[in-house]
Amino acid sequence: MKTTLRRCVVICAMLLAELFFCILIYGSASSANPVEASQEAEKTVLEVAKVNVEASVREIPLDKQAIQDRITEIQTELDALIEKKENLLETENIEEDDLRRTLVALGSLQNVYSRLMSAQDNLTEAKREQEAQEKKSAEPDISGQPPFNLSFYEDVRNRYESVEQRLEAVNSSLRLSEGSVSTVDEQIRRMEEQYKVLSEEFQNLKNASGVKQLLQVKEAEADLETSKVSRIVQDLNIEAQNISRNLLLAERDNLKTGLEFVKKHVAYDEKDRTARGERIGEQIAAAREKLPGLREDRERARIALSRSQGALTSARNE
């Protein structure tokens, strides 16, 4: 029942958006001719536009279905603008760049909502991994019993180093995310001021169709909403990164304990030594097979560089 009702709301929103753009375009076009258009018709167009601007300050949806509904609404606005593009450019006092900026802003808004859903999914997955780890034993994740051969020790060490690298990458991303929070907050503040100014200017229009100003308001509104959604995405990413960091810290400490245990119980193994020697020999042979191709690539790069330098020298001499 709720799903059906929600779909009805979306359909109604789409129809209203299309109706709004039709009224705005055709109504304002007729009001541009003072002989054919009445003052009442022009007033109606502005009133309709103002109602939409006033209603455009919205809460950011967080429910997945609500987010998808918002994406659909934005697509409806994009389709309406694209469909009426030629009419807008011919009958209204706007440049193609005015319309392009609004379309880009709406497209960016649509994309950031997709990022919001991805961020929610990533956080859900991080929490699921956290729950799974909490159920695991705190004992080192080391299979087998001592004594251990050198290959086994190197395998554990490689796992430890891999986790260290992943941990460093997460820490780096976390520092960047946390460091940019204040920047995004300041950006939102500036955009709120810009949106307020443009909205008030549009509300005070009297003797103009207002289409160009409305596009500016819609662009500012979309930019503001995009920044607000980006801020939420940032918070979700930071939370997920913190969870990932804690998971990696626990995994690293676990492997460190295991690595120290294995190191204390490493024993000489002739079979392992022979197998290691064979693997190293295979790696050397594979590297040697690649050498001719690498030399050819290097020679081609050298020739290309030489030609480029020659062309640059000739151009300078001319």
SS (H, E, C) the chain: CHHHHHHHHHHHHHHHHHHHHHHHHHHHHHHCCCCCCCHHHHHHHHHHHHHHHHCCCCCCCCCHHHHHHHHHHHHHHHHHHHHCHHHHHHHCCCCHHHHHHHHHHHHHHHHHHHHHHHHHHHHHHHHHHHHHHHHCCCCCCCCCCCCECHHHHHHHHHHHHHHHHHHHHHHHHHHHHHHCHHHHHHHHHHHHHHHHHHHHHHHCCCCCCCHHHHHHHHHHHHHHHHHHHHHHHHHHHHHHHHHHHHHHHHHHHHHHHHHHHHHHCECCCHHHHHHHHHHHHHHHHHHHHHHHHHHHHHHHHHHHHHHHHHHHHHHHHC
181 and 125 in one domain?
yes
Of 238, 258, 281, which residue constitutes the final position of a domain? 238
Question: At 133, which amino acid appears?
Answer: Q
Do the domain assignments include residue 243?
A: no
Do the domain assignments include residue 123?
A: yes
121 and 22 in one domain?
yes
139 and 96 in one domain?
yes
292 and 196 in one domain?
no
Do the domain assignments include residue 246?
A: no
289 and 205 in one domain?
no
Interval 268-288 mean pLDDT: 81
> What pLDDT, on the 0 to 100 scale, is given for residue 293?
87
CA distance linking residue 6 with residue 87, whole number of Å:
33
Do the domain assignments include residue 261?
A: no
Interval 216-220 mean pLDDT: 91
111 and 218 in one domain?
yes
281 and 217 in one domain?
no
Residue 261 pLDDT exceeds 80 = yes
CA quadruple 143, 144, 145, 146: dihedral, nearest 10: -90
Averaged confidence pLDDT in the chain? 80
108 and 226 in one domain?
yes
- Range scoring the smallest mean pLDDT among 24-28, 81-85, 104-108: 24-28
> What pLDDT, on the 0 to 100 scale, is given for residue 67?
96
CA quadruple 57, 63, 68, 72: dihedral, nearest 10: -30
Between 131 and 31, the more confident residue is 131
Residue 95 pLDDT exceeds 90 = no
Do the domain assignments include residue 15?
A: yes
Interval 128-138 mean pLDDT: 85
The percentage of residues in the chain with a pLDDT greater than 70, rounded to a whole number, is: 78
Query: Are the CB atoms for 257 and 140 separated by under 8 Å?
Result: yes
> What pLDDT, on the 0 to 100 scale, is given for residue 209?
63
276 and 131 in one domain?
no
280 and 138 in one domain?
no
Residue 207 pLDDT exceeds 70 = no
Number of domains composing the chain = 2
- Alpha-carbon Rg for the chain, nearest whole angstrom, is 31
Do the domain assignments include residue 247?
A: no
Query: Are the CB atoms for 236 and 119 separated by under 8 Å?
Result: yes
Do the domain assignments include residue 154?
A: no
pTM of the complete model beyond 0.75? no
> What pLDDT, on the 0 to 100 scale, is given for residue 19?
43
Do the domain assignments include residue 107?
A: yes
User: Residue 10 — very low, low, confident or very high, per pLDDT cuts 50/70/90?
Assistant: very low
Q: Give me the residues paired with residue 266 across strands.
A: 148
Interval 38-53 mean pLDDT: 43
Domain assignment of residue 201, given as a range: 2-145+173-238
